[in-house]
């Protein structure tokens, strides 16, 4: 097995590769897409709403990839870096599931995805640079907000869209586990001004991706 240490050039090339894969290629999930028994065809109004909501969730998963990659770049503790990369790998499943469902609903990716990716990569790297405890706290709060966001989307989806509901339900379960793991590893509640700013950024991304 190749055990050579990565140089800054290696990490730079790897980062560029991650950007290209996340923004342009169709990701491949390691787990099967959650299935829903009795799924039915949707009326046009329900299909359109589901497509917009799933586009928001797809954009969120693009941002999640960048966030975890940015934090992993600046993580100091190998355990924390390993946990970040493991969570990012699981988030790839979410990205793949959202993209597949988006295609089924005849929807399109958000045109703003490059903006969300760049901003999240910078935020992740900044959080990691503050130290592993700060990074874990940032993850715990992020996943808490994502779980609330997914719960809201489950309420907004048509009761007939069982397939999208199955996907978001599994995603919500995974996000709760990520947040709990980060808290167990040392993540602490963040100050209110930071959590407020995170919610404001999340609302901006949600509204932008819903329409564009």
Across residues 70-82, what is the average pLDDT?
79
Tell me how long the chain is.
212
Across residues 73-97, what is the average pLDDT?
81
More confident residue, 127 or 147: 147
0.75 exceeded by the pTM?
yes
pLDDT at 59 over 50: yes
Task: Say what the pLDDT of residue 207 is.
Answer: 83
Residue 149 CB burial class (10 angstroms; 0-12, 13-18, ≥19): buried
The fraction of the chain above a pLDDT of 70, given in percent, is 86
More confident residue, 91 or 50: 50
Instruction: Write out pLDDT tens, residues 41-57.
Output: 788 999 999 999 999 99
H-helix segments, the chain: 8-24, 44-74, 78-104, 113-129, 132-156, 162-184, 192-211
Q: How far apart are CA 81 and CA 89, in angstroms?
A: 12
- Pick one of 3.30.2290.10, 1.10.357.10, 1.20.1260.10, 1.10.3720.10 as the CATH number of 41-211: 1.20.1260.10
- What are the structural domain ranges in the chain? 41-211
């Amino acid at each position: 097995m190749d055990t050579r240490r990565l140089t800054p050039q290696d990490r730079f090339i790897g980062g560029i590769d991650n950007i290209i894969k996340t923004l342009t290629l169709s990701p491949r999930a390691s787990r099967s897409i959650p299935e829903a028994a009795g799924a039915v065809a949707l009326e046009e109004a329900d299909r359109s709403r589901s497509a917009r909501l799933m586009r928001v969730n797809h954009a969120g998963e693009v941002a999640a990839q960048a966030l975890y990659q940015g934090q992993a770049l600046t993580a100091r503790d190998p355990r924390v870096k390993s946990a970040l990369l493991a969570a990012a790998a699981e988030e790839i499943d979410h990205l793949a599931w959202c993209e597949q469902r988006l295609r089924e609903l005849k929807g399109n990716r958000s045109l703003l995805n490059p903006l969300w990716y760049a901003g999240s990569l910078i935020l992740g790297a900044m959080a990691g640079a503050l130290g592993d405890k700060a990074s874990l706290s940032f993850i715990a709060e992020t996943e808490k907000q994502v779980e609330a966001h997914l719960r809201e989307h489950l309420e907004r989806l048509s009761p007939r869209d069982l397939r999208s509901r199955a996907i978001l339900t599994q995603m919500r379960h995974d996000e709760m586990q990520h947040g709990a793991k980060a808290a167990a590893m040392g993540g602490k509640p963040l100050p209110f001004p930071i959590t407020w700013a995170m919610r404001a950024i999340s609302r901006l991304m949600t509204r932008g991706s819903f329409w564009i």
